[in-house]
Amino acid sequence: MTTPLRTVLLPDGRAVSCLGQGTWRMGEDSSARANETAALRRGVELGLTLIDTAEMYGDGGAERLIGEALRGMRDQLFIVSKVYPQNAGGHALRRACENSLKRLSTDRIDLYLLHWRGNVPLKATVEGMAALRREGKIGAWGVSNFDADDMDELFAAGGADCATNQILYNLLRRGAEFDLLPEMAKRKIPAMAYSPIEQGRLPGSGALVDIAKRHRATTFQIALAWLLRKPDIIVIPKAATIEHVSANRAALDIALDKADLAALDQAFAPPRRKTPLAML
């Protein structure tokens, strides 16, 4: 039995798939292009219609891959892309957005994020994003790698329309649970979890392995299921093959029970104090 794909609501009321597809380090190797294309298309067929990318990924190569691989499927997709910090205001922001649109072969980016905080004043970024939204070039905007104090400054700069914060969040990186995620929940802003399996660097023994065996799953699937159980988290693992994207989708069929969650909390303790938000 396949569990229906749950959706997460953005602040503007739009519903997006809770499980999407990341594309970091895709579109860089021509020998992998056929497999990457097949994986992206199969993911969309499985309901993983949120596609995350960035102008940084492969110097635009990932965006070009998406534009080519998903041609003819645009109306099914929710495309997320990210802008470099140095391009996050004024004419540079508009130019970066238009270049991403060209590479993606589309007339709109559904959700456009500031990749991480740089030297451009947040007020300029907020104003630039609002202009792009008015012009129809983007549907919504948000940020990435913003800690709690960064979010406070964003709201003070007029950023009440922020739709999401894409952060490094997984079993090994739970610091955001202390203050960032509760603050976002108060404002009804969902988080987007990147590197949800810590780039494959999960423990090879212990509770995670034991739980995986009980569920006849991989440790990666358990790590995804742990995140996917949360109603306000969007999870964006990368998958460069059909087999991998199918395995990611199957993580939705795993129902972790109280004993599983308690064992994971014992092995990967939730934070008891503030820790700076990590990023990759």
Residue among 57, 116, 115, 111 nearest 79 (CA): 111
Q: Can you tell me the distance from the alpha carbon of 89 to that of 128, in angstroms, rounded to the nearest whole number? A: 6
Does the pLDDT of residue 239 top 60, yes or no? Answer: yes
Does the pLDDT of residue 272 top 70, yes or no? Answer: yes
Strands 7-9 and 15-17: what pairing? Answer: antiparallel
Kindly state the average pLDDT of the residues 76-86.
98
Kindly state the average pLDDT of the residues 218-242.
97
Confidence (pLDDT) at 4: 75
Residue 126 in contact with residue 132, Cβ under 8 Å? no
Confidence (pLDDT) at 2: 67
Determine the length of the chain: 280
Q: Which residues contact 208 (CB under 8 A, 6 or more apart)?
A: 171, 202, 219, 222, 223, 264, 267
What tens digit of pLDDT does each residue of 242-264 get?
A: 999 999 999 999 999 999 999 99
Please give the model's pTM, rounded to 2 decimal places: 0.96
What tens digit of pLDDT does each residue of 195-217 get?
A: 999 998 999 899 999 999 999 99
| Mean per-residue pLDDT over the chain, rounded | 96
Burial of 206 (C-beta count, 10 Å sphere; 0-12/13-18/19+): middle
Does the pLDDT of residue 1 top 60, yes or no? Answer: no
Domains of the chain as residue ranges with CATH: 7-267 (3.20.20.100)
Active site residue 57: yes
Higher pLDDT, 62 or 4: 62
Residue 11 in contact with residue 43, Cβ under 8 Å? no
What angle do helix axes 90-104 and 61-69 make, rounded to 10 degrees? 40
Does the pLDDT of residue 3 top 90, yes or no? Answer: no
Higher pLDDT, 160 or 2: 160
Kindly state the average pLDDT of the residues 133-149.
98
Which of 57, 112, 169, 194 does the annotation list as catalytic? 57
